[in-house]
Structure 1
Amino acid sequence: LILAAAVTGISILIPLLCVSRFQLILAVGMAVFTFISVRRTFRLKYLLILCALMVPAYLALTVLRSHSVSYLNGIFEMKNPHTPIFVTQPYMYIANNYDNFNCLVEQLGSHSMGLRMLFPVWALTGLKFLNPSLVNFPIFVTKEELTTVTLIYDAYYDFGVLGILLFGLLTGAVCALLYRLRARASNPVCHVIYAQIAMYMALAFFTTWFSNPSTWFYLAVTAAAYWFVGHGLPYFGRDM
């Protein structure tokens, strides 16, 4: 219990020390999804306690980042320039990301035929340095300062509407498989993998996720932990 508390404390300190609201939301969200996956329930009082802790932490990180509220509200074209930044940014991350997708649909001349979504391969293998043309694709956004895009952005960039349909079918099949595996898995790390995918789906408006090398790095580390717990530790047994 002491070790678990210490590791949990460190995992919470990392996004705070990095002054990263995104990492804080990702870490806490994954912890919540893992808890729900293991316990199969989540009481209202837990949600209230979590909100009571998260809201001050989010506001504190917003202040520590020292953003110019008037500058950001000007970029976001908010009707009320005095809108608090902790209200403006979550709204704009959702609204503008889909505006950026609309911009892509209107301005894209030709599809990249799979090269965009294979960016993790080019990045993790170093091929992007040997052949820059593999990643030399313009990003279509409404404003140059607002470059975040939604989950289906690269799927459309590659194959259009067909790409979105195939991407949806594939992610749906993977989620269904994870749901079934989680229900009967004895390896506890399976719940963490489930929580990762659940978090990516919950924040589908935030980024492309599966075109991001960091996502696959996190999944690879979790998969390694899954194998280690199931096969590398005699204590847990090899049937896991």
Structure 2
Amino acid sequence: MSIRLPSLSPDPDAPFPPGQSALRHPDGLLAMGGDLAPQRLLNAYRAGIFPWYSDDQPILWWCPDPRTVFRSDGVRLSSRFRRWLRRCDWVVRADTAFDEVIAACATTPRAGQHGTWITGAMIEAYRELHRLGYAHSIEVFDAGRLVGGLYGVSIGRMFFGESMFSARSGGSKVALSALAHRVREWGWPLLDAQVENDHLLSLGAESWPRSRFLEAVSRLTAEPDAAGSWSGRFGALRAAELAPARS
């Protein structure tokens, strides 16, 4: 059976179809076409929509149901990992190595996955969002060497995670924990993780009905929080600070 999808207008400011109209199979597929212009991407995230496609496909736009999210106070680390963290001398920063992080997310091998959805066009689009102060990288360093990280998009008081990687065991966990730690301090309640997998669930991710997620996104992206670099705002966070004194 063929799938008929709405095609987006060439105008990057043209509205998206409502997220609630996305297909059930495949879950969340909403529209196709358009481009990755900054304004279109920002409009997509404000509507709870994200691009996800391969090089041999047109641009595909998604709004799955349910939606995978982290509460900023809900990232869970095992007792063993927290004990290790308390002895860890890694340091976490933001927006000091965006290009390196997105390249690592695109090229790091993943179990059961061949190739990458982070195409050259996607990399350039998110680099432009980074230059505009909307896309951010969280970077984990060991003696100056990048050992893990993640990147995503922030609008208002909402962070939309896109991808993360580990060059050393635990690198992505530290990046996620540090992000949650900082945005919780800033009063941001929620992180979007898009689609669930066992790894995210083991770290405390929750599955929300799409309607609940879209309501939260509409509210949080409308709240004031200026775009711009996070390098000074985030500062340097020692990984050991992410482990409570008692566990």
Higher Rg of the two aligned structures: 1
TM-score after normalising by structure 1: 0.24
- More relative contact order, 1 or 2 (CA 8 Å, 6+ apart): 2
Normalising by structure 2, we get a TM-score of 0.23
Flag the structure with higher strand content: 2
